[in-house]
Structure 1
Amino acid sequence: MVPTVIDLATREVIGYAMADHHRAELVTDALRMAAGRGDLQSGCIMHTDRGSEYTSGEFRQELRELNLRQSMGRTGICYDNTAAESFFGLLKAEIGTTVWESRETARADVFRFIEVEYNRTRLRRHPEFGYLTPLETRARLQQDLTPAA
């Protein structure tokens, strides 16, 4: 399982974790990674599905500590979480049929896909900025939000 935290403004994957289980600590680790990067603003909305990891006390406590709000999609409606569904569709298309020698090799492949290909080289159509990578979109948004001196 690879839970992700995706910034909806830029479509950048800002947090993720990988393990062979679905326990709450895994999604909490992905959320902590996003928070550690400094990309989460107080009061942001964290959208999730209704999986037990996301309804756990551990995950909800982490949301409270980070002062985030939770939104959950409707049961069985994949359209409520289209950003994540789209990301995982790309991930599966790129590396989903691979059989890895070890978990470490799988982790390296997922890391490469997210940090190199997806966030830094994948172009997306942004309504205001045109074709930019998620990182370029973030830089543009930060520039636009910087107050004048």
Structure 2
Amino acid sequence: MGRVGACGDNAAMESFFALLQKDVLNTRRWATREDLRIPIVTWIERTYHRRRRQDRLGRLTPIEYETSMTTPANQAA
């Protein structure tokens, strides 16, 4: 993330919040903000981080990277 108001940063954050809203916030009616805390953290850790492509992994998802790094002998075990 770079400077304030950079269009690339805005696009990335808008994409993230659109997914969060579609997958968590709009799934049901939430009584309080406290009720949302665990579902949001769970969604980020279990869904978002596992399926988004990461620069440090050569633009692969963590699952794709892990699969490419394991040898066929380890996969059979």
TM-score (norm: length of structure 1):
0.33
Give the aligned partner of residue 106 of structure 1: 36
The structure carrying a bigger helix percent of its residues is 2
Unmatched runs of 5 consecutive residues or more in structure 2: 66-77
Asked if 1:95 corresponds to 2:49, the answer is no
4+ residue runs over 4 A deviation? none
Unmatched runs of 5 consecutive residues or more in structure 1: 1-45, 48-70, 137-149
Partners of 1:80 and 1:123 in 2: CA distance: 16
Aligned partner of residue 99 in structure 1, secondary structure:
coil
Shift of 1:95: 1.4
Aligned length: 63
- Bigger RCO (CA 8 Å, 6+ sep): 1
Higher radius of gyration, 1 or 2: 2
User: Taking structure 1 as reference, are residues 132 and 80 closer, same or farther at Cα in structure 2, changes over 3 Å only?
Assistant: closer
Aligned partner of residue 72 in structure 1, secondary structure:
coil
Shift of 1:101: 3.1
TM-score (norm: length of structure 2):
0.56
Asked if 1:73 corresponds to 2:5, the answer is yes
The structure carrying a bigger strand percent of its residues is 1
Give the aligned partner of residue 75 of structure 2: none
